[in-house]
């Protein structure tokens, strides 16, 4: 199975910056490690441009959020149908920044996941604990709650279109990635939980301060199916370095 290297650009890049990223990225990567699947998540306003830039390549494009209704009086929201309509194939749901700044609960995330899957979007579902939770030895309990509620009602068939990203909140944007051994423990816990409770499996990514110099630690772990990269995916050069390092 191909490992996934995904880029979450968060609220970064205008259309012209998106164009220039792909221009540089193509130069970096005549190579593109055939061994991995690359997925890029631009902001909504750059998705159409990114899809166009990636025509006739294997790079996939996704959105960073979607709403759980199809249409109607929901000012400012974007539906899963609309995201499919512009050619994106993936959506990130449950990111800790959406949970924190936009008050997304497990229940809201669960509704969004169902809606995205109904509209043939593949979902990268994010989970992860705060530093406080880790300090108190409650990581597994925390992750279990997020998965149990977030993925409630999904069928075995649905799991083919779910990727889980383990992103410890305290490792996001801090330059302090978790050590590989601790990440491995959580990933193994998630695998077992999915097998025991959903009779299913899913690819599991690691995210949080991934850079080219720590890629190998994570990619070397058998149960880690790839990486979700934030800051280091914004420059074509550093994102390409991560892809090379993971190959």
**Site residues for ligand 13P per CB under 6 A:** 8, 95, 167, 172-173, 207-210, 228-232
- Pick the catalytic residue from 37, 53, 97, 167: 167
Helix (H), strand (E), coil (C) string for the chain = CCEEEEEECCCCCCHHHHHHHHHHHHHHCCCCCCCEEEEEECCHHHHHHHHHHCCCCCCEEEECCCECCCCCCCCCCCEHHHHHHCCCCEEEECCHHHHHHCCCCHHHHHHHHHHHHHCCCEEEEEECCCHHHHHCCCHHHHHHHHHHHHCCCCCCCHHHHEEEEECCHHHCCCCCCCCHHHHHHHHHHHHHHHHHHHCCCCEEEEECCCCCCCHHHHHCCCCCCEEEECHHHCCHHHHHHHHHHHC
- Residue 195 buriedness (CB in 10 A; 0-12 / 13-18 / 19+): exposed
Give me the least distance between CB of 156 and ligand 13P, in Å please: 27
Which CA distances in Å does 202 have to 4, 75, 126, 198, 234? 12, 34, 12, 11, 27
Nearer to ligand 13P, 43 or 207 (CB): 207
Per the annotation, the verdict on 114 as an active-site residue is: no
Give me the least distance between CB of 6 and ligand 13P, in Å please: 8
Q: How far apart are the first and last CA of the chain?
A: 13
Give me the least distance between CB of 157 and ligand 13P, in Å please: 26
Nearer to ligand 13P, 208 or 225 (CB): 208
Give me the least distance between CB of 155 and ligand 13P, in Å please: 26
Nearer to ligand 13P, 115 or 208 (CB): 208
- Pick the catalytic residue from 37, 95, 114, 129: 95
Nearer to ligand 13P, 198 or 230 (CB): 230
Give me the least distance between CB of 101 and ligand 13P, in Å please: 13
Per the annotation, the verdict on 95 as an active-site residue is: yes
Nearer to ligand 13P, 97 or 184 (CB): 97
Catalytic residue IDs: 95, 167
């Amino acid at each position: 199975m191909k490992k996934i290297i995904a880029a979450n650009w968060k609220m970064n890049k205008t259309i012209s910056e998106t164009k220039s990223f792909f221009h540089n990225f193509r130069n970096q990567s005549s190579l593109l490690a055939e061994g991995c699947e690359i997925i890029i998540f631009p902001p909504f306003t750059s998705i159409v441009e990114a899809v166009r830039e990636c025509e006739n390549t294997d790079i996939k494009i996704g959105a960073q959020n979607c709403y759980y209704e199809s249409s109607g009086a929901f000012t400012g929201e974007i539906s899963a149908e609309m995201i499919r309509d512009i050619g994106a194939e993936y959506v990130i749901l449950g990111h800790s920044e959406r949970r924190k700044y936009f008050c997304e609960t497990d229940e809201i995330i669960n509704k969004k996941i169902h809606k995205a899957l109904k509209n043939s979007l593949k979902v990268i579902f994010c989970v992860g604990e705060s530093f406080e939770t880790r300090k108190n030895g409650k990581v597994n309990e925390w992750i279990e709650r997020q998965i149990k509620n977030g993925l409630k009602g999904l069928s075995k068939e649905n799991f083919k279109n779910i990727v889980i990203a383990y992103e410890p909140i305290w490792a996001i944007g801090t330059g302090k990635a978790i050590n590989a051994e601790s990440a491995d423990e959580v990933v193994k816990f998630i695998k077992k939980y999915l097998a025991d409770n959903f009779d299913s499996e899913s690819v599991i990514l690691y995210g949080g301060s991934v850079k080219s110099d720590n890629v190998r630690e994570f990619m070397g772990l058998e149960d880690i199916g790839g990486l979700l990269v934030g800051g280091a995916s914004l420059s074509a050069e550093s994102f390409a370095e991560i892809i090379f390092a993971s190959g």
